[in-house]
Structure 1
Amino acid sequence: MSAVALPPTPKSPGVGARRKDPKQLPTLPLSVFTPPNTGTSDKFPGQPSPSTLHPEEIIDAHVLNASGDLAGWKSETGQTIGGRVRGIVLSLHGAQETDVEKVVQDAASASSSTPILAIAVPFKLEDGAPASPPPYLASGSSSKPTIALTTTFTKPSQAAIDALSWALAQKFTVNIDVQSDLQQEGGWEALVDLITKATASPGAKKGKTVLSNILPPPDDLALPIVKLLTHPSYRTYQDQTASLSLCANLYVNFLPPAWGAPTPPTPPAAEKTEAEPEADKASRADVKEKNEWKRRIKMYIGPAVEAFGFQRILFGSSPAAPLSGSSSASNAGDWFELARESFAELGLEQEDLDAVFARNARLAYAAPSS
């Protein structure tokens, strides 16, 4: 049998042909796959410990004192945050109208190691838009510190809408202390309605609004956290916080909550002993109470961050305007530690912590542009 001739073998593509149109593959730097060369560990770095995460600087966006006296605030913050404070927003909420101008002048001229970024003067929403505002509310005022407004919201009215719209059109930053019962039917809706209608006109979008007493909102500590998760009030808080975040130029103050109890202190580190003294037992009780507060606080921070991001939340050390008979006292230093740890334990970045504790306040209370 004669041999059958095989067809010629097809030529394989040469090297040049294979390189003619190479496929572009995504590349990652080798550093992604290389652990840090520390000489002590071959593990990747984890999240920074909450105990070591501190804001680079602090601007306290809510220091409440009707007389303008900062002595009490300084004594509470001196050893805890005094060295990091770069400015404050002084609220004169509760000051008599006849005394406001003098207090503003005294506070503005007083020499202090703590700069006053802004002074929030009383302003009544229920009085409507002022026909003849006092001199310190004159339109276009370029006074330093910046003049802001502080007011209280209790119930909706056309006068309140007109007053807030006027203030925002004058480029003021308005701190609204929410003292209405948000848990009642229509409570949250009334607040959203006020902000929405007051900012409806283009001119009213020049100013900024800061809400107090909603982060965290008033709460009942007797309600266990496991039940709070499914409670109607918490679900409403989640929904309405998202609604508020849609309003232009709106911020929220992160203040000591009105929970009918003083802010728990930060216990000092106790040494271990064989026989536990009574002081150590008390310290352990303080730690337990503080951890319980942090768990509850973080439940409210979560929806607020989802709605507003870290860019529209301001740290302040004074509670909202105290109600008659309220026992929600707070030490500024204790609240700072509780607030810092609550945010740090969420695993946020350094820049986010710096935004909440300083940078956002500068933006919210910056002098209005002409």
Structure 2
Amino acid sequence: MPPKKPPPLPRSLFTGGGPLSPSALQQPPSPSTVHPASIVDAHNHGIPLEHFPELQNMPPVTGSVTVAVGVERSGSGKHISVPACVIDDDPDLQTVTTASAIDLVVPCTGPLGESGWEAVDEAVNQLDGGRQKVEEEVAAGTPSRKILVSGLLPPPLTKRSSPLLHSAEYETHCGHLSQLSLHSDVVLKVLPPIVDTHVAGSSPWWEDVHELERVVKMYLGPALEAFGTHRIVFGSQPALAPSDPATVVPVSGAAWYVLLRKCIAELGEESEAMTAIMAKNAEELYNL
């Protein structure tokens, strides 16, 4: 005999305030309600985020890290200065510092090609001894120092979201970034983007905040997937202060915090992850 059909479920389960009705299902939090508990400005050039008056209605800024070329680590407590190791400037990166967290700056003003990514890989390998060495240290319970890479998240902006999506530079970036994430000691700093108008053209599409958000999310999404929220750190200033008048910074400081918070929330991250990116990760990495 064929099996008996189960009795139909009453419509009341699915309508009105029934337990299976759409109104009863738990909805994800609105992006506008997802905020960090605090902020640590982990990358600035001497003017930390807390000095910006726009922060009146934002979470408290509890720490800052000033990053500069040619300085010694200084400061104490929640506010410190650290040296920047620029890939092109110091071929012998092992001699730069013995700190537990090293700032490695990628000084690019355009998309990295294969040779540029090779230079990043060589620098990381020189600092940590290679992925195998890092894995051995982790297995032995002696974690290696962390390498905080600046200049890659997001990279210098060149295109609007639609042409960027189908471009070779975007495919190259996402592929190499995924490879870089296999170094478990590498952390990315998510910093305000720069635009070289010689590369991106003179039409200022980056002044459209909605288009800028779309492009930032295109780079932020793959980075979150590859590195996780525990290996991404917020900073309010670009990797290096631009010296060429043709290089512009579309958004920085408090405005960058506002834009980035919105992008992270719209990508589905909740308050705990938001706090990790905006504050907690930097506190742990720099022992603030």
TM-score range, shorter chain: 0.7 to 0.9
1:119 positional shift:
2.2
Match of 1:55 in 2: 36
1:247 positional shift:
1.2
Match of 1:173 in 2: 101
Specify the SS of the correspondent of 1:186.
helix
1:79 to 56, 59, 64: 56
Question: In 2, distance between residues paired with 1:243 and 1:36?
Answer: 48
- Of Structure 1 and Structure 2, the greater strand share is in 2
Q: Is 1:151 paired with 2:85? A: yes
Match of 2:11 in 1: none
Flag the 1:193–1:349 CA change in 2: closer, same or farther, 3 A.
Answer: same
- Verify the 8 A CA contact 2:196 2:248 in the aligned structure 1: yes
Flag the 1:244–1:44 CA change in 2: closer, same or farther, 3 A.
Answer: same
Specify the SS of the correspondent of 2:187.
strand
- Verify the 8 A CA contact 1:343 1:353 in the aligned structure 2: yes
2:211 to 282, 292, 299: 292
Flag the 1:254–1:50 CA change in 2: closer, same or farther, 3 A.
Answer: same
Identity %: 29
Question: In 1, distance between residues paired with 2:189 and 2:180?
Answer: 13
Paired letter, 1:85: V
1:172 positional shift:
3.0
1:206 positional shift:
2.9
Match of 1:358 in 2: 279
1:90 positional shift:
2.3
Match of 1:244 in 2: 180
TM superposition score normalised by structure 2: 0.76
- Verify the 8 A CA contact 2:31 2:266 in the aligned structure 1: yes
Question: In 2, distance between residues paired with 1:212 and 1:247?
Answer: 15
Question: In 2, distance between residues paired with 1:260 and 1:116?
Answer: 34
User: Can you give the 5+ residue segments of structure 1 that lack an aligned partner in the other structure?
Assistant: 1-32, 109-114, 122-149, 262-285
1:101-152 alpha-carbon deviations (Å, 9 max, x no partner): 8xx4xx54xxxxxx6343213xxxxxxxxxxxxxxxxxxxxxxxxxxxx221
Match of 1:216 in 2: 154
Specify the SS of the correspondent of 2:218.
helix
Question: In 1, distance between residues paired with 2:69 and 2:119?
Answer: 24
Paired letter, 2:113: Q
Q: Which deviates further from its counterpart, 326-335 or 355-364?
A: 326-335
1:288 positional shift:
8.3
Count of paired positions: 253
Question: In 1, distance between residues paired with 2:30 and 2:206?
Answer: 18
1:297 positional shift:
0.5
1:84 positional shift:
1.9
Q: Is 1:45 paired with 2:7? A: no
User: Can you give the 5+ residue segments of structure 2 that lack an aligned partner in the other structure?
Assistant: 1-13, 138-142, 198-204
Flag the 1:329–1:293 CA change in 2: closer, same or farther, 3 A.
Answer: closer
Flag the 1:153–1:176 CA change in 2: closer, same or farther, 3 A.
Answer: same
Paired letter, 2:100: F
1:19-56 alpha-carbon deviations (Å, 9 max, x no partner): xxxxxxxxxxxxxx9x999xxx9432312111111111
1:311 positional shift:
0.8
Paired letter, 1:310: T
1:154 positional shift:
2.4
Question: In 2, distance between residues paired with 1:248 and 1:331?
Answer: 28
**Greater C-alpha Rg:** 1
Flag the 1:246–1:89 CA change in 2: closer, same or farther, 3 A.
Answer: same
Structure 1 residue ranges, 4+ long, deviating more than 4 angstroms after superposition: 201-205
Flag the 1:163–1:36 CA change in 2: closer, same or farther, 3 A.
Answer: farther
